[in-house]
Structure 1
Amino acid sequence: MSPPARHPDAERVTADVFQQRPTRIRVDLDALAHNLKTLRAHAGVPVMAVVKANAYGHGLVPVGRHLQAVGVEQLGVAFLEEGVALRQAGVTVPILVMGGIFGPQASELIQHDLMITVSSLDKLRLVEAAAEALGRRAQVHLKIDTGMERIGVHARNAGPFIEAAVASAWCDIRGIYSHLARADEPDSPATAQQLERFLDACAHFERLGAPMPQRHLANSGGLLWFPRTHLDLVRPGIALYGVMPDPALPSPLPLRPALSLRSQVVYFKVVPKGHPVSYGGTWTPDVDTRVITVPIGYGDGWPRALSSRGEVLVRGHRRPIVGRICMDQFMADIGPDGSAWNEDEVILIGEQDGHAIRCEDVAAAAGTIPYEILVNLNLRIPREYTGGV
């Protein structure tokens, strides 16, 4: 039996309904452009903007397109599919896929003109075989492990690896890089140690009489606090979006948060003294109070860990989240004398009437890091974009 025919307006109707959802993410593209310019000026070298994990929750394709339009030199992603999505969206700047690769991915990476992270001799041979089979040269970055213990050849063993890459008949070395493990700790000596190991590995190019490829080491923390790590290229991730890697550290640069998260009141009630709120009855008011319901929950990526710990802004006042956060909703206490109406704006991340809740504040309340707050905001939440070229 044939499936029922899809109504020609069904996709439009679905999109319209989706856009009616009161909970939404707003991304300020002008803030992104400002942050890119600020970070580039601070580093004094070109920028590879990291847009993995849906551009840290901001939207992979819109952010990638915008960064290209404002002149970013390169983009960095984690996985093949992210690079392919950008290429299919018309993004043409160089894109490095930074994650580990396997099997047939090598051919796909080459065919989509994506730069490949080669992290071992075995991976080098895999990429060479794929390139030869396609009759097309592969563009690669060599990954050196200087202390992360994730992927990459240990710096102390880098000589034979680099020599083999230089001699490769099918690979063009576009870069060599490593990743800093503790750059969000400005007082840690680990970053200086990693830098020295990396530079020792890079010196093999000079010993071989080969041209030095683009060296890159600095993530957001390295860019902000360790100028010696800037080298030939920097790779800002979270700082590009105006958020600090560590909530406890103030930004040394005038960066602007690009993302705000807002919703609206969908219900208002008076909760009598002694009546528990939400699952498990973990919060009970000690006086008659007024409670609002907000239509976003852990099903959208809003952390359940914020239950009775987080805050929101309503009419310019900070109001505590009370009771357990549900899959699709949560409640906030606006107090015995508080006022709110259905459809009033509720700010979860962002500004309202001169007050602000930062992503870093949310992370601290949830006992996690800002990265996790951003990337967990899933596609159930509509995104809208302001500014841009």
Structure 2
Amino acid sequence: MSNPTPFPEPESDLACAFRAEAGDRPTRIRVDLDALTHNLHALQRHARAPVMGIVKADAYGHGLVPVALHLQAQGIAQLGVAFVEEGIALRRAGVTVPILVLGGIHAPQVSQFIAHDLEVTVSSIDKLRQVEQAAESLGRKAVIHLKLDTGMERIGVHSEHAAPFIEAAVSSRGCTVKGIYSHLACSDDPASPMTAEQLRRFLAACAHFDRLGAPMPVRHLANSGGVLHFPETHLDMVRPGIALYGVLPDPASRATVALRPALSLVSRVVYFKVVRAGRTVSYGATWTAGQDTRVITLPIGYGDGYPRSLSSCGEVLVRERRRPIVGRICMDQFMVDIGPDGTAYNGDEAVLIGRQGDAAITCEAVAQAAGTIPYEILTGLNQRIPREYTGGPAGQPASSAAGRVA
């Protein structure tokens, strides 16, 4: 993966060695670029608005650069990242579409936004002045999006106090106001009344542009939940994140768009043994075989971002059958009970997330078993796991140190 720092350090010998051998690791993430294409177009049709594809956090574990390059090839209107380092990595990889950095800005970094043609989230008059100063020192104009707080209490000017903020931005000589946005706090739940109130607050603040006689910038409010459940929030652009990757944001979410999961997590059996009745498995001896049974070992663990909380409650697919994880998940391995009559050989594929024949384990199901949310499952899968990409245009480049195109 491209180093996310502005001035990359040379790779360590260990990192280079791991990259060189990544193609042989039996555990890997498979990303279906055709599924991404399907989801992008389905969300565009549903929202009837341009899409800002959110690719922060390594594109939700799917691979920042390969995903961004693919979305660019599909004609996406805009990309969104969390940090300036992510934006710089994309620029260095050849991504040319507009990129908005959604996170709060740190004054010493502001000049890097402008130098790399990244759009800036401006969340206060003080931040506006910092951007103006950096733009003036570079002899360029900064492209900014104004951030309003309509209920998250994270960053942004409170919408009811937005008038002076908007006026200062409109009159700025160093900044061009391209967009204005807020973030929905409860849109994953279609029954929540919070979204309607946030929309009301947001539109009331946007009305200040009309009072000033200034052009209305691009208004964007809808995240994945907003796109799926609240069409009134779609406005001028939408910002799907997890939905773009084919995963619903919350158990309360409705599948109002036909989405296809883009990510599969697979491994292969590296050990098989018979565990006698009364013997325990893994750290802490928390699981005891009730009968003679067959247990396999898979070479993946919490060191790869696979949650330890799935110990003795998660499942994997082996030969198209659900099999339980037994004992505590280790840093690099875990064990699976395939039953007294189960069959598996070293090298057999096991599916942790994804489909095997007619059986499937969804990211949403993994999250529920782990007691967390799908976002945490996807973004927790780290760079120890090689990524490979299928589908997409011919010649789609491999852009991850541990990734390749199949």
TM-score, normalization: structure 1? Answer: 0.97
Q: Quick check: 1:82 aligned with 2:86? A: yes
Q: Quick check: 1:195 aligned with 2:172? A: no
Letter in 1 for 2:309: A
Q: Quick check: 1:343 aligned with 2:340? A: no
Superposition deviation, residue 86 in structure 1: 0.3
Q: 1:179-229, CA deviations, whole angstroms, 9 ceiling, x for partnerless residues?
A: 000000100100000000000000000000000000000000000000000
- Name the residue aligned to 2:19: 15
Q: Quick check: 1:278 aligned with 2:282? A: yes
Q: 1:260-318, CA deviations, whole angstroms, 9 ceiling, x for partnerless residues?
A: 00000000000000101000000101111000000000000000000001000000000
Do 2:190 and 2:252's aligned partners in 1 also have CA atoms closer than 8 Å? no
Letter in 2 for 1:110: I
Looking at structure 1, the residues matched to 325 and 171 of structure 2 have their Cα atoms a distance apart, in angstroms, of 60
Q: Quick check: 1:300 aligned with 2:307? A: no
- Name the residue aligned to 1:141: 145
Match of 2:33 among 19, 29, 32: 29
Looking at structure 1, the residues matched to 226 and 14 of structure 2 have their Cα atoms a distance apart, in angstroms, of 48
Q: Quick check: 1:107 aligned with 2:111? A: yes
- Name the residue aligned to 2:397: none
- Name the residue aligned to 1:321: 325
Structural RMSD (CA): 1.4
Looking at structure 2, the residues matched to 244 and 156 of structure 1 have their Cα atoms a distance apart, in angstroms, of 32
Of all paired residues, the percent bearing the same amino acid is 71
Q: Quick check: 1:165 aligned with 2:164? A: no
Superposition deviation, residue 247 in structure 1: 3.1
Letter in 2 for 1:174: K
Match of 1:184 among 185, 188, 194: 188
Superposition deviation, residue 353 in structure 1: 1.5
Report 1:94-133 matches (<5 A). Answer: 94-133=98-137
Looking at structure 2, the residues matched to 381 and 342 of structure 1 have their Cα atoms a distance apart, in angstroms, of 20
SS at match of 1:188: coil
Looking at structure 2, the residues matched to 278 and 187 of structure 1 have their Cα atoms a distance apart, in angstroms, of 43
- Name the residue aligned to 2:250: 246
Superposition deviation, residue 72 in structure 1: 0.3
- Name the residue aligned to 2:212: 208
Letter in 2 for 1:107: S
- Name the residue aligned to 2:52: 48
Looking at structure 1, the residues matched to 50 and 240 of structure 2 have their Cα atoms a distance apart, in angstroms, of 11
Do 1:247 and 1:363's aligned partners in 2 also have CA atoms closer than 8 Å? no
Q: 1:45-100, CA deviations, whole angstroms, 9 ceiling, x for partnerless residues?
A: 10000000000000000000000001100000000000000000000000000000
Looking at structure 2, the residues matched to 264 and 216 of structure 1 have their Cα atoms a distance apart, in angstroms, of 43
Looking at structure 2, the residues matched to 298 and 250 of structure 1 have their Cα atoms a distance apart, in angstroms, of 30
Superposition deviation, residue 16 in structure 1: 3.7
Letter in 2 for 1:292: I
Match of 1:368 among 368, 372, 376: 372
Looking at structure 2, the residues matched to 296 and 128 of structure 1 have their Cα atoms a distance apart, in angstroms, of 48
TM-score, normalization: structure 2? Answer: 0.93
Structure 1 residue runs of 4+, over 4 Å off?
A: 9-14
Going from structure 1 to structure 2, the CA distance change for 1:99 and 1:11 (only over 3 Å counts) comes to closer
- Name the residue aligned to 1:91: 95
- Name the residue aligned to 1:230: 234
Q: Which runs of 5+ in 1 are unaligned?
A: 1-5
- Name the residue aligned to 2:64: 60
Looking at structure 2, the residues matched to 13 and 60 of structure 1 have their Cα atoms a distance apart, in angstroms, of 22
Letter in 2 for 1:36: L
Letter in 2 for 1:57: G
Looking at structure 1, the residues matched to 63 and 326 of structure 2 have their Cα atoms a distance apart, in angstroms, of 30
Do 2:189 and 2:252's aligned partners in 1 also have CA atoms closer than 8 Å? no
- Name the residue aligned to 1:3: none
Do 2:276 and 2:291's aligned partners in 1 also have CA atoms closer than 8 Å? yes
